[in-house]
Chains A and B, each alone.
Chain A
Amino acid sequence: MNFRLDVLSQEAPQFAAGLGNTVWLCGTSMVLSLGLGALCLVPLTSRRRTLRRLAQAMVDAGRCIPFLLLAYIVYFALPAVGIVLDKWTAALTTLVFYNTAYMAEILRGGWVSIPAEQIETARAFGYRGFLLLRRIMLPQVLIAVGPVIGNQLIQLIKDSAFLFIITVPELTFAANYVQSYYFIPFESFLVSTLLYWLLCASVEWLVRRSERWASLVRRSHG
C-alpha cells in the first residue's frame, strides 16, 4: 500500500477547518455548560428536600442518554414539535444540554467536599444566594474539580465526533469527506485520530499547568 501523503497535504485545509470547528464548538459549549451547571447547583444543594431530589433525578437522567441519541432528538425530533434548528444550533444545543448534566454533577461533587462550617461562617457574615455562590463557593469548587473538568472536556471533544452524522463539518466529517472523495480511508482516519490525540493531549497539558497554578494559589492563601 502506498501512503497518499500528497493527498493529505493537499487536503490539509479541510482537516484544519474541521479541527477548528471541533475546537470552537467544544470550547463554546464547555463555557456555556459550566455556567448552566453552576446555576444547577442552586436546586442541587437546596435545603428543600423535594427540590433537591427532583434536580438530582433530572441530572442523573440526563447522564443516561447517549450523545448521538440526544443529537437525533434535537435535530430530528424537535422539528416535530415546531422547533426547527439549523445544524450548527442543533450541534451547540446538544453539546450544551448534554454537558450541563455532567458539569452539574461534577460541581456538586466539589461542593460537597467543602466543609459545612465555611458556608455557615459565610452566611453569618451576610453572604447569601448568588453572592455566596460566586464569591465563596465557586472559586473553591472550581479549583477542587479543575482536573475532573479537564477530563470531561476530553470526553466532550470525543463525543462531538458524533456530530458528523448530522452533517456538522467538524474533524470526523472532514476525514470522512476526504476518505470518500479520494478513497483513502486509512490515511484519512489515521490523520483525524492523530489530531484528536494531539487535541486531547493539549487539554491534559493545560489541566496539569492549571493544577500547578492552583496549588500555588492555595499555598499563598493558606
Chain B
Amino acid sequence: MLSPAALVDLLTGAGTTIAICAVAIAAGMPLGLLIAAGRTGKNPILRFLCGLYASFVRAVPLVTFVMLIYFGLPALGVAFDPLPAAVFALGLNTAAFNSEIWRAGIADFSRGQLEAARAFGMTPRMAFWRVMFPQIWRKSLPPLVNEMTLLIKASPAIAVIGVVDLTRKARQIAESTYEPLPAFFAAVVIYGIVLLALVAAARLLERRLATRVA
C-alpha cells in the first residue's frame, strides 16, 4: 500500500506536470497561431520557414527534442535550467502541432466572409479578430484539446533532464519502497483523472460556445 506521505509526494509531482504543461500550452497556442499565419501568409520565405519548423518538430520524439534543447543548445551558447528548458521544449513542441490545427481552420474558412467584412470597411486585422478568429477557435477547440491530452501524456519526457514530474516521482517512490506496483498504479490513476477532467472541461466550454452562437 501507498503511504500518505508517498501519496502527497505523488500529488506534488502531478502539480509539477500540470503547471509545466499549462504554461507550455498557454504559450504554445498563440505561438502556433503565429506559425499558422506565417504558413498561410503571402511571404514565401516565411511560409517555407514556418512549414519547415512545423514539419521538423512534429516528426521528432519529445524526449529527443528535450535533450536537444537542454544538452545540445548550450553548445550554441544558449543554456537553460532544467525547468525553463522543460517549459520551452514542451511549448515549442505543442506550438508546432497547434499550428497544424490552426492552419486547417484557416484553410477551411470561407473567403466570402472575409471579403464581405472587408467590403463593410473592416481592416484586415479587425476582420481577422472579429469575424474569422471566433469561428476558427470554436472549430479548432476539440482538436486543440486532443493535442493538450497528447502533450500531457508525452510530458514524462522532461524527466530525462532531471525535472521531477509525476512519472519520475512514481519511479522514485517505487525504488525507495521496493514496491513498484502501488506507486505506478496511483500515477496511472492520477493521469487518468487529469486527462478526463481536461476532456470534461473542454466539453463544457464547447457547449457554452455553441449556445452563445445559437
Q: Are B192 and A61 in contact (CB under 8 A)?
A: yes
Give the contacting residue for B67; candidates A64, A79, A189; CB below 8 A: A189
* Interface SS majority for chain B: helix
- A72-B171, A162-B156, A197-B56 are known contacts. Are A81 and B63 too (CB-CB below 8 A)? no
When chains A and B are docked, how far (Å) is the Cα of A64 from the Cα of B185?
12
Give the contacting residue for B154; candidates A66, A171, A193, A196; CB below 8 A: A66
- Binding stretch for chain A, among B33-41, B113-121, B174-182, B202-210: B174-182
**Count, A-B residue pairs, CB within 8 A:** 130
What number of A residues sit within 8 Å (CB to CB) of B?
43
Q: In the assembled complex, which residues on chain B have CB atoms less than 8 Å from the CB atom of A161?
A: 61-64
Give the contacting residue for B192; candidates A64, A67, A193; CB below 8 A: A64
Q: Are A185 and B180 in contact (CB under 8 A)?
A: no
> Is B133 part of the binding interface, using a Cβ–Cβ cutoff of 8 Å?
no
> Is A176 part of the binding interface, using a Cβ–Cβ cutoff of 8 Å?
yes
> Is B2 part of the binding interface, using a Cβ–Cβ cutoff of 8 Å?
no
> Is B1 part of the binding interface, using a Cβ–Cβ cutoff of 8 Å?
no
> Which A positions have Cβ atoms within 8 angstroms of B?
1, 61, 64-69, 72-73, 76-77, 79-81, 154, 157-162, 164-165, 171-172, 175-176, 179, 184-190, 192-193, 196-197, 199-201
> Which B positions have Cβ atoms within 8 angstroms of A?
55-56, 58-65, 67-68, 71-76, 152-157, 159-160, 167, 170-171, 174, 179-181, 184-185, 187-188, 191-192, 195-196
